[in-house]
Amino acid sequence: MNKISIIIKREYMTRVRKKSFIIMTILAPVLMAAIIIVPTLVMMNQDQDFKKIAVIEDNSDLFKNVIKNTKNLEFVYLENTKMEDLKNSFEKQGYYGILYISPELVNTPNAIQLLSKKQPPIGLLDHIEGSLEKEIEKQKLMTYNIQNLDEIMKNIETKVSIQTKKIGDSGEVSETSTGIAMALAYLSGFLMYMLVFMFGAQVMRGVIEEKTSRVVEVVVSSVKPVQLMMGKIVGIALVGLTQFLIWVFLTIAIAGVIKSTVLKKENLTEVSQNMTKSLMNDGQQAAAGTQTAEINPQMAEFSKLFSNAMNQPWGLIILCFIFYFITGYLLYASIFAAIGSAVDNETETQQFMLPVTIPIILALMVAMGTMQNPESSLSFWCSLIPLTSPVVMVARLPFGVPYWQLAVSMAIMVITFITFVWMAAKVYRTGILMYGKKTSWKEMWKWLKYSG
């Protein structure tokens, strides 16, 4: 099999040395990070803009000074001003927008309007809605004539934040976050789809290149067609694995940098300590905890997310990812190789591409659905069906998958890819030397049965 290794080496080296590969490998994680970080930064910056908002109430003062000012928001309660007076000039007077409250608001939830030139940020709306909801509740409660209402209200003020934990088979408890699991499911599902499709298509392009340039006649007079096909498929698989592993290491490196700089160790432990304490509901400690959290609430949230992310079963996820990448890729790459061998140029691939793209795009859609409902029977079946299982199964992994399902899915996957490689080799052997003939699925089926 020395000749296969020569072919693998060529396929690997010519691709890895390409500028596009090097750029893609280094830039992809940076881009991925940018996609997540930039919008967050933009949103945070937007929220930090100072906004002055005029509040006009229609013929009453039910909600006078109910909405509290914050660091970035100032609410100016205007009496004896009509909406029409301000409508055209509020921007000139330095207002971000006009909040118009009708007294009907107590009974009609949508009797309130915010007029502004720009789309108001969610944070602003949350603040207004929260303040008014509380005030209306309070006013409604007051009609029951409860004594010391103000004090009671202050006492019963509560905040709830669910701490999700997962219990492993051996009983150990780890903190998880559905958000992290969803993000991870999305990321791995999409990455799997992209890698399988991208490298599978590369196999096809490589086969077509060899066929149209007639390199194949020269090569096939030295090695068997199957050796050429397998050499190409394996060579490109190694390129894909190289890229993936570099991405994994880069991500680990980036995570390490974040951990050691942004979230200094004391900071992290302090925050989590505070959280446990506040959970214990110890009055004084809780107050202190809230204080720290208030000082840097974003940081606290971030470090919590970060430590939750660390609690994911990374080893299992990465190993399974590699397994499904290899088998899924082999499955699709062999189909792509067969298609590439059957056509004379890339435009002719169209008719064959559709039936191949449908299952993998379907898989991606099911994977997206999996994020909402990881236990659905659709995700279950699609994570067993070999054409969709690579994408769907990796999307299910962060939510936890029973081992027997994983084992069944993997077994089916292995059997299928071996069958497909075998069939593709037969089609390839005939197709690669066939020129100037429009090939159909029927024709390819015939080639399957040729011998010699």
Residues 133, 137, 150, 217: which binds other proteins (CB under 8 A)? Answer: 217
Positive or negative, the CA dihedral 110, 112, 117, 123 is negative
Q: How far apart are CA 376 and CA 208, in angstroms?
A: 40
Query: In the complex, what is the shortest distance from the CB of residue 1 to other proteins, in angstroms, rounded to a whole number?
Result: 13
Site for other proteins in 220-279 (CB under 8 A): 220-225
Tell me whether residue 115 or residue 433 sits nearer to other proteins (CB atom): 433
Residues 85, 150, 209, 282: which binds other proteins (CB under 8 A)? Answer: 209
Tell me whether residue 18 or residue 64 sits nearer to other proteins (CB atom): 18
Query: In the complex, what is the shortest distance from the CB of residue 227 to other proteins, in angstroms, rounded to a whole number?
Result: 10
Query: In the complex, what is the shortest distance from the CB of residue 221 to other proteins, in angstroms, rounded to a whole number?
Result: 4
Positive or negative, the CA dihedral 220, 221, 227, 233 is negative
**Of 54, 42, 61, the residue nearest 102 (C-alpha):** 61
Query: In the complex, what is the shortest distance from the CB of residue 238 to other proteins, in angstroms, rounded to a whole number?
Result: 17
User: Interhelix angle for 178-212 vs 297-310, to 10°?
Assistant: 60
Q: Does 205 bind other proteins (CB under 8 A)?
A: no
Give the burial class of 371: count Cβ atoms within 10 A of its Cβ; 0-12 exposed, 13-18 middle, 19 or more buried: buried
Query: In the complex, what is the shortest distance from the CB of residue 275 to other proteins, in angstroms, rounded to a whole number?
Result: 57
Q: Does 433 bind other proteins (CB under 8 A)?
A: yes
| All residues at 6 or more sequence positions from 145 whose CB lies less than 8 Å from its CB, including other chains | none
Tell me whether residue 14 or residue 260 sits nearer to other proteins (CB atom): 14
Query: In the complex, what is the shortest distance from the CB of residue 319 to other proteins, in angstroms, rounded to a whole number?
Result: 34
Tell me whether residue 211 or residue 304 sits nearer to other proteins (CB atom): 211
Give the interface segment with other proteins, choosing from 61-69, 127-135, 216-224, 379-387 (CB under 8 A): 216-224
**Of 279, 309, 275, 305, the residue nearest 292 (C-alpha):** 275
E strand or H helix at 175, and its extent?
strand 173-175
Q: How far apart are CA 396 and CA 401, in angstroms?
A: 7
Instruction: Provide the 3-class DSSP secondary structure of residue 270.
Output: helix
Residues 113, 163, 164, 213: which binds other proteins (CB under 8 A)? Answer: 213
Residues in contact with other proteins, counted by CB under 8 A, come to a total of 23
Residues 185, 191, 219, 395: which binds other proteins (CB under 8 A)? Answer: 219
Query: In the complex, what is the shortest distance from the CB of residue 219 to other proteins, in angstroms, rounded to a whole number?
Result: 6
Structure tokens at 155: 């006492």
Query: In the complex, what is the shortest distance from the CB of residue 15 to other proteins, in angstroms, rounded to a whole number?
Result: 11
Q: How far apart are CA 102 and CA 428, in angstroms?
A: 74
Give the interface segment with other proteins, choosing from 87-95, 99-107, 148-156, 214-222 (CB under 8 A): 214-222
DSSP state, residue 223: S
CB 260 within 8 A of CB 251: no
| All residues at 6 or more sequence positions from 246 whose CB lies less than 8 Å from its CB, including other chains | 25, 26
Q: Does 436 bind other proteins (CB under 8 A)?
A: no
Structure tokens at 45: 């910056």
Query: In the complex, what is the shortest distance from the CB of residue 201 to other proteins, in angstroms, rounded to a whole number?
Result: 17
Tell me whether residue 220 or residue 305 sits nearer to other proteins (CB atom): 220
Site for other proteins in 2-21 (CB under 8 A): 3, 6-7, 10, 14
Q: How far apart are CA 286 and CA 350, in angstroms?
A: 64
Structure tokens at 124: 């602003």
Q: Does 440 bind other proteins (CB under 8 A)?
A: no
Residues in the site for other proteins, rule: CB under 8 A? 3, 6-7, 10, 14, 209-210, 213-225, 433, 446, 452
